[in-house]
Amino acid sequence: MQSELLYKRLAQKLVDAELNREVVVKLTAEYPELTVEDGYRIQDELVSLKLEQGHRIFATKMGLTSQAKMKQMNVHEPIRGYIFDYMNIEDGILPINELIHPKVEAEIAFVLREDLEGPGITEGHVLAATDYVVPALEIIDSRYAQFQFSLPDVIADNTSSSRVFIGSTWRKPDDLDLDLVGVTLSINGELKDLGAGAAVLGHPAHAVAMLANMLAREGRKLYKGDLILSGGITGSHQLREGDVVVAKWGGLGSIEFVVKTR
């Protein structure tokens, strides 16, 4: 357990890195004793700083939800973070000049029609409490060089949250088998990745249930109206100036954007 002052200082360093588009050395290089709990305390400070700057929380997200990413990080539990209002892109342009080294991944997002309070929340509870599901493309952009970090680092860095595109096809969860929803992700006309909803912990609703149960450990919950990104169905793919990205979901439409300097 570190001091409040240190949490604040490290959170400010990550906020500045995002704003200045400058990578920083991972926090655990200087503070190897940082724990996952410390990572969340720094993330909480980072969220407070963003709120003080006038930003609002747009969505909550689960990260590291695929077996591949968990194995890579040697963890057994996904991580959670926040997406702010300024991260939501509505005009189909990813402004690469505002970012460091963005990557894209395809997800399914949930909109709740009821509060969800753990512990003990199951996939069934999540589906019953869901108003709509929507397709989403998450842009992750680590503030650490080469996306190299340990678990406390990436949690402190708000799970690499950077931008998001939300699709316009909203469906009732009962209309789809979310574990079987297929996704293709193409960049410049080349198929880069594909997957099914089951890539997210067996079922995307499972990730949302896990989020509610994780939040309950801190006396928090999910609220009616909340938008939740459940985790990457595809892997994450590096983006470059001029790229045209097209993702298609079975039964959930598509999202397209171009990577440009604005």
* Rounded Cα gap, residues 66 and 169, in angstroms: 24
Q: Which is nearer to Mg ion, 38 or 105 (CB)?
A: 105
CB of 21 to ligand 0L1, least distance (A): 16
Pick what 255 binds: Mg ion, ligand 0L1, none; C-beta below 5 to 8 Å, kind-dependent: none
> Residue 138, interface with Mg ion (CB under 5 A)?
yes
Applying CB under 6 A, the span of 27-35, 89-97, 164-172, 228-236 interacting with ligand 0L1 comes to 228-236
Contact 102, 130 (CB under 8 A): no
Query: Tokens 């990572």 sit at which residue?
Result: 39
CB of 64 to ligand 0L1, least distance (A): 5
* Rounded Cα gap, residues 77 and 231, in angstroms: 12
Pick what 39 binds: Mg ion, ligand 0L1, none; C-beta below 5 to 8 Å, kind-dependent: none
**In whole angstroms, what separates CA 97 from the centre of its chain?**
21
Applying CB under 6 A, the span of 5-13, 30-38, 120-128, 231-239 interacting with ligand 0L1 comes to 231-239
Cis bond before residue 204 (omega within 30° of 0) = no
| Residue 229 tokens, joined | 């990104």
Helix (H) or strand (E) run with residue 67 in it: helix 67-73
> Residue 108, interface with ligand 0L1 (CB under 6 A)?
no
Orientation angle between helical segments 36-52 and 4-20, nearest 10 degrees: 60
CB of 79 to ligand 0L1, least distance (A): 6
Pick what 159 binds: Mg ion, ligand 0L1, none; C-beta below 5 to 8 Å, kind-dependent: ligand 0L1
* Rounded Cα gap, residues 16 and 172, in angstroms: 40
Using CB under 6 A as the criterion, which residues of the chain lie in contact with ligand 0L1 when the complex forms?
Answer: 63-64, 138, 140, 142, 147, 154, 159-160, 231-232, 236
